[in-house]
Copies of this chain bind each other. A is one copy, B any other.
Amino acid sequence: MSYFDAASSAPLHPVARQALQASLDEGWADPARLYREGRRARLLLDAAREAAAEAIGCRPDELVFTTSGTRAVHTGIAGTLAGRHRVGRHLIVSAVEHSSVLHSAEMHRTQGGTVSEVPVLRTGAVSPDTYTEALRPDTALACLQSANHEVGTEQPVVAVADACRAAGVPLLVDAAQSLAWGRVEGGWSLLTGSAHKWGGPAGVGLLVVRKGVRYAPQGPADERESGRAPGFENIPGIVAAAASLRAVRAEAAAESARLRELTDRIRARVPELVPDVEVVGDPVRRLPHLLTFSCLYVDGETLLHELDREGFSVSSGSSCTSSTLTPSHVLKAMGVLSEGNVRVSLTLGTPAQDVDRFLDVLPGTVAAVREKLGAPTSAPAVTVQDGSLVVDTLGKRCPIPVIELAKVITGVPIGGTVRVLSDDEAARLDIPAWCEMRNQEYVGEEPTEGGTAYVVRRKAP
């Protein structure tokens, strides 16, 4: 069994387990009480806060524990927007932030605020210049993740923080994916994290608000955690979170180098072993343990299912595997292929032979899925209209539209066009991505009855 989805949730680190069990006896009482059980709980909480603050690089009184990374993001954004509402109601986010950031932005928009979404390069990184251009006199808050959760690309936080600082705008860094590997450098103002991503327990996040940031807690008053995180403190969880962050950091340098070698191996070997694959994300400025690739003509859900049968747990940003039927907003913003998407994120200690076995298994698995999908029981209708080949894949889900496009393209004269009719949202991303991969010209899209027509012109080989 190889669990390759650390970016979703890491198994509990042994140190976290130990700290959790030890503090179940000492940390269950109310730390606000003055009797001995309360004082003991308070000591544990204070020590955990100091340890976490040291790992983050902030003052203990700048750090509060929340109940999840998502909650930390929601809280940090809402509190800063409210605290700085006199400055204005403009919020900046990158297009590839975690959904907790984007959903906060969406709520801000529905409440009358304005949001700028900074686009990313094909690597998944924002350009510091583009980000800086989004800063305005009425910008209340800017958000930028430390590294992307789907493709592993590191963001230029230091440069963006400098620009924000120069503009007098606080920068919130969602560091959920990178805290295991080290501090976030640069002059950020707020920072969020999530313990279960670094091997701590679920139910613990953290929110750092630097002194000097105007911050107004939202929601009903509650005196716990400096008024920033309501509800009775989960002290055993918090102790385990802080202890495991320190433990993971102690292993980080060595593990980082080792895992980077393994992910480099996958990045290099997959395109050699599997035809029609795109490895996405920055090849160098990236998290050590995470990589993502997409396989043409493959249905992500089926691929994940087959890999699970082979003993590999991975995730996917393909639309086929999500309940919303839209491809990952990250892949979309990067303009890369979403179909047959696989994210591999290794846990600490992943043995090299697990990676080798993955590379052994993957080619056959992808081939089998392709074979199954290559012959849909009802072939789409191909017609000719106004001199253009029309492939009707309406009602067919990804990756069928791309598969059918690939089937017919060789029958089109050079300079001739194909119109692929599709009502699958993923086609909007995957057909242009396919064109880029296969060196064909993507002409554009037009609305058509029941969906969209994607127009592709065959180039000379």
B-binding residues in A (CB < 8 A) = 1, 3, 5, 8-12, 17, 20-21, 24-25, 27-30, 33-38, 67-71, 74, 78, 99-100, 103-104, 106-107, 194, 196, 201-205, 219-223, 230-237, 301, 304-305, 308, 312-315, 321, 323
Across the interface, A103 reaches (CB within 8 A) one of B20, B38, B220, B305, namely B220
Q: Is the CB of B33 within 8 A of A71?
A: no
Query: What is the bound-complex CA distance between A203 and B234, given in angstroms?
Result: 5
Closest to A235 in B: B202
Closest to A219 in B: B74
Q: Is the CB of A107 within 8 A of B69?
A: no
The copy count of this chain in the complex is 2
Closest to A101 in B: B220
Q: Is the CB of A308 within 8 A of B36?
A: yes
A78 to chain B, nearest CB (A): 8
With A34-B301, A313-B33 already in contact, the answer to whether A205 and B220 are too (CB < 8 A) is no
Determine the chain B residues whose CB is within 8 A of the CB of A25 once the complex forms.
12
Q: Is the CB of A230 within 8 A of B70?
A: yes
20 contacts between A and B (CB under 8 A): A3-B29, A8-B29, A9-B29, A11-B29, A12-B24, A20-B24, A34-B308, A35-B313, A36-B308, A69-B231, A70-B222, A74-B230, A78-B219, A103-B221, A106-B221, A194-B232, A196-B232, A201-B234, A202-B235, A223-B323
Q: Is the CB of A30 within 8 A of B11?
A: no
Residue of A3, A99, A220 contacting most chain B CB atoms (<10 Å)? A220
Q: Is the CB of A34 within 8 A of B305?
A: yes
Determine the chain B residues whose CB is within 8 A of the CB of A12 once the complex forms.
24-25, 28
A204 to chain B, nearest CB (A): 8
Closest to A17 in B: B24
Determine the chain B residues whose CB is within 8 A of the CB of A34 once the complex forms.
301, 304-305, 308, 321
Determine the chain B residues whose CB is within 8 A of the CB of A231 once the complex forms.
67-71, 205
With A34-B301, A232-B69 already in contact, the answer to whether A222 and B9 are too (CB < 8 A) is no
Query: What is the bound-complex CA distance between A223 and B103, given in angstroms?
Result: 11
Q: Is the CB of A232 within 8 A of B313?
A: no
Q: Is the CB of A220 within 8 A of B67?
A: no
Query: What is the bound-complex CA distance between A9 and B321, given in angstroms?
Result: 42
Query: What is the bound-complex CA distance between A219 and B312, given in angstroms?
Result: 36
Determine the chain B residues whose CB is within 8 A of the CB of A107 once the complex forms.
219-221
Determine the chain B residues whose CB is within 8 A of the CB of A312 once the complex forms.
35
Determine the chain B residues whose CB is within 8 A of the CB of A36 once the complex forms.
1, 308, 313
Query: What is the bound-complex CA distance between A264 and B220, given in angstroms?
Result: 37
Query: What is the bound-complex CA distance between A25 and B234, given in angstroms?
Result: 19
Q: Is the CB of A100 within 8 A of B232?
A: no
Determine the chain B residues whose CB is within 8 A of the CB of A27 once the complex forms.
202
Query: What is the bound-complex CA distance between A186 and B458, given in angstroms?
Result: 71
Query: What is the bound-complex CA distance between A231 and B11, given in angstroms?
Result: 17
Across the interface, A33 reaches (CB within 8 A) one of B5, B70, B201, B223, namely B5
Determine the chain B residues whose CB is within 8 A of the CB of A3 once the complex forms.
29, 35, 37
With A34-B321, A196-B232 already in contact, the answer to whether A67 and B67 are too (CB < 8 A) is yes
Q: Is the CB of B21 within 8 A of A232?
A: no
Q: Is the CB of A202 within 8 A of B67?
A: no
Query: What is the bound-complex CA distance between A355 and B314, given in angstroms?
Result: 56
Query: What is the bound-complex CA distance between A5 and B219, given in angstroms?
Result: 28
Determine the chain B residues whose CB is within 8 A of the CB of A74 once the complex forms.
219-220, 230
Query: What is the bound-complex CA distance between A221 and B107, given in angstroms?
Result: 8
Query: What is the bound-complex CA distance between A160 and B232, given in angstroms?
Result: 29
Query: What is the bound-complex CA distance between A211 and B445, given in angstroms?
Result: 44
8 smallest beta-carbon distances between A and B, as pairs:
A68-B231, A203-B234, A67-B67, A35-B313, A103-B220, A70-B231, A202-B234, A203-B203
Across the interface, A8 reaches (CB within 8 A) one of B30, B230, B235, B313, namely B30
Across the interface, A203 reaches (CB within 8 A) one of B67, B308, B315, namely B67
Determine the chain B residues whose CB is within 8 A of the CB of A201 once the complex forms.
24, 28, 234, 236-237
Closest to A29 in B: B9
A97 to chain B, nearest CB (A): 12
Determine the chain B residues whose CB is within 8 A of the CB of A8 once the complex forms.
29-30, 33
Closest to A72 in B: B231
A229 to chain B, nearest CB (A): 9
Query: What is the bound-complex CA distance between A314 and B36, given in angstroms?
Result: 10
